[in-house]
Amino acid sequence: MPEFVHSVLEFVKAHQSWATLIVFVLAFAESLALIALLVPATVILWGIGALIGAANLDFWPIWFAAGLGAAFGDWVSYWLGYHYHEQIARMWPLRNYPTVLPRGHAFFKKWGAVGVFGGRFIGPLRAAVPLAAGACRMPSAPFHVANWTSAFVWAGTTLGPGALGAEWLTQKMGWS
């Protein structure tokens, strides 16, 4: 496990009152275009999910923080794409792939909010889909419905398995 991931998990374990803020920031970073490439947030969130079950952290506030962070990260990415769509098309790496935005526009025209919802669950696309949706001028209402609903479903699927698995293992092994 990379040292950074281990350090964050140890910090959360020792300072549980910081868990919701840390989860919010990690989920925000995980969903923010370009920043998501630099932060190993998914792995840390899986570990925090396990800490929820093993260290008796309260699941619901942490789940809510993850959902909010993910939704706000996508919101910012969408806003950047929407307001800077022409400049984004001229920036690296999109300038090297001139067909990406027209194909993205066709994708959002065909799939709309379903594409945004599903993109949340595909790791490499998670932060790129909202940026592309904004750059392709996807209408904001369907984007936000898909964004907010998928963010909370994603938060549950990211934290839940670790929380449930650790709790089950703790009970089966008689650990306290």
Contact call for residues 136 and 85 (beta carbons, < 8 A):
yes
pLDDT at 155: 96
Q: What percent of the chain has pLDDT over 70?
A: 91
In this structure, the number of other CB atoms found within 10 A of the CB of residue 80 comes to: 19
38 versus 138: the higher-pLDDT residue is 138
Q: Is the dihedral of CA 134, 123, 119, 98 positive or negative?
A: positive
In the chain, where the domains are located: 3-173
92 versus 9: the higher-pLDDT residue is 9
Whether the model clears a pTM of 0.75, i.e. scores above it, the answer is yes
